[in-house]
């Protein structure tokens, strides 16, 4: 039986009646978390190495690779999902992903808000793994925001070269460092307004810093994984990150948003890849309408 599949009698393995949750226009029965084997555990078993890092945007062969269009098996027509039902479904997805990825957290190595801000700026169009190879030497050399502002032209560019777009990133790091030093006494500000006023800092970077460095769970980090999964899960129909964030904020309460974004990112890397989502191995499959999913 696939992970999360309904039991024939509509009861959990523990013999409890299973609640029903609407998925799009369908209603599915939500199994208990006891079936959710950690995706991380399965990945470690496959690799034979404990705690190994998940590869960025790795494809994979689905056991159902020949299916041209995946649909929820319980596709009987039901009334359209209400907003409250969608909120409950989002909550159930959160719980399942939390059980599947118990170690999910920010993948950018950092110790201070400044280090996280710098790492997040460097992560644009790059991978967390690549950024983590560059930042140890950088953080050892540049201790304060003013250090970045003072860095000689050409030097910082060389040091961050491997993260890509090094000229514009170096320019933004110098300018953001100067602004933090001059306008915030050298401390990274902890409000959305002040953060997004810094050069090179948009809502995504600001949300990363607010949620992970300051514990302020206000917005929702929307990167490529969060955008893709939010659409497939039917949480949004938008393509614009700001509108996607607005939809997710409405569905997910404060206190869950930062971790939920990490969970979606980890799930996007491990199972729900852009080109070949492994729906047959997905712990939230019974809750997912799989909007727009095609598997060749
Ligand atoms: S892998 Fe498939 S079932 Fe799971 S979230 Fe992605 S689209 Fe939905």
The first and second tokens of residue 258, run together, are 């930062």
223 is catalytic: yes
Q: What is the pTM (predicted TM-score) of this model?
A: 0.77
Q: Whose CA is nearest to atom 6 of ligand 1?
A: 272
Does any domain span residue 8? no
- Give the pocket of ligand 1 (CB within 6 Å): 229, 232-233, 271-272, 277-279, 282, 284-285, 288, 290, 293
Residue 45's pLDDT band, with cuts at 50, 70 and 90, is low
Q: How far apart are the first and last CA of the chain?
A: 23
Q: Is residue 295's pLDDT more than 80?
A: no
Does any domain span residue 5? no
Which residue range is the domain that position 111 belongs to?
Answer: 18-296
Q: Whose CA is nearest to atom 3 of ligand 1?
A: 285
Q: Whose CA is nearest to atom 7 of ligand 1?
A: 290
Selecting among 109, 147, 190, 223, the annotated active-site residue is 223
Q: Whose CA is nearest to atom 2 of ligand 1?
A: 279
Selecting among 31, 86, 169, 204, the annotated active-site residue is 204
Ligand 1 centroid – CA 42 distance (Å): 17
Ligand 1 centroid – CA 287 distance (Å): 9
Which of 62, 70, 276, 290 is the pocket-test mutation for ligand 1 (most atoms within 8 Å of CB)? 290
CATH of the domain at 209: 1.10.340.30
Residue 18's pLDDT band, with cuts at 50, 70 and 90, is very low
Q: Is residue 26's pLDDT more than 60?
A: no
Please name which of 30, 26, 23, 27 lies closest in space to residue 6, comparing C-alpha atoms: 30
Does any domain span residue 10? no
Ligand 1 centroid – CA 296 distance (Å): 15
Ligand 1 centroid – CA 231 distance (Å): 10
Ligand 1 centroid – CA 14 distance (Å): 26
Domains contained in the chain, number: 1
pLDDT in tens, 225-244: 999 999 999 999 999 999 99
Does any domain span residue 12? no
204 is catalytic: yes
Q: Is residue 120's pLDDT more than 50?
A: yes
Give the pLDDT of residue 294: 80
Does any domain span residue 267? yes
Cα-flanking dihedrals φ and ψ of residue 33, to 5°? -70, -10
Does any domain span residue 79? yes
């Amino acid at each position: 039986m696939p992970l999360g599949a309904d039991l024939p009698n509509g009861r959990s393995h523990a013999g409890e009646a299973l609640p029903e949750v609407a998925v799009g226009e369908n209603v599915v029965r939500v199994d208990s978390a006891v079936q959710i084997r950690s995706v991380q555990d399965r990945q470690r078993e496959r690799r034979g190495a404990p705690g190994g890092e998940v590869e960025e945007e790795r494809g994979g062969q689905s056991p159902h690779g020949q299916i041209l269009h995946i649909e929820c098996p319980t596709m009987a027509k039901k009334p359209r999902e209400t907003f409250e039902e969608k909120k409950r479904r989002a909550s159930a997805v959160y719980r399942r992903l939390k059980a599947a990825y118990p170690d999910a957290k920010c993948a950018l190595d950092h110790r201070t808000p400044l280090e996280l801000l710098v790492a997040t700026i460097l992560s644009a169009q790059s991978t967390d793994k690549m950024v983590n190879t560059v930042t140890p030497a950088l953080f050892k050399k540049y201790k304060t925001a003013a250090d970045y502002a003072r860095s000689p032209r050409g030097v910082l560019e060389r040091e961050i070269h491997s993260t890509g777009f090094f000229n514009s990133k170096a320019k933004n790091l110098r300018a953001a460092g100067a602004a933090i030093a001059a306008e915030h006494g050298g401390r990274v500000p902890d409000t959305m307004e002040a953060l997004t006023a810094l050069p090179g800092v948009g809502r995504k970077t600001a949300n990363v810093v607010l949620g992970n460095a300051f514990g302020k769970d206000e917005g929702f980090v929307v990167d490529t994984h969060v955008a893709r999964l939010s659409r497939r899960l039917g949480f949004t129909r938008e393509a614009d990150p700001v509108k996607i964030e607005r939809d997710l904020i409405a569905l997910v309460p404060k206190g869950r948003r930062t971790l939920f974004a990490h969970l979606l990112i980890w799930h996007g890397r491990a199972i729900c890849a852009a080109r070949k989502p492994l729906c047959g191995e997905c712990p939230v499959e019974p809750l997912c309408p799989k909007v727009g999913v095609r598997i060749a």
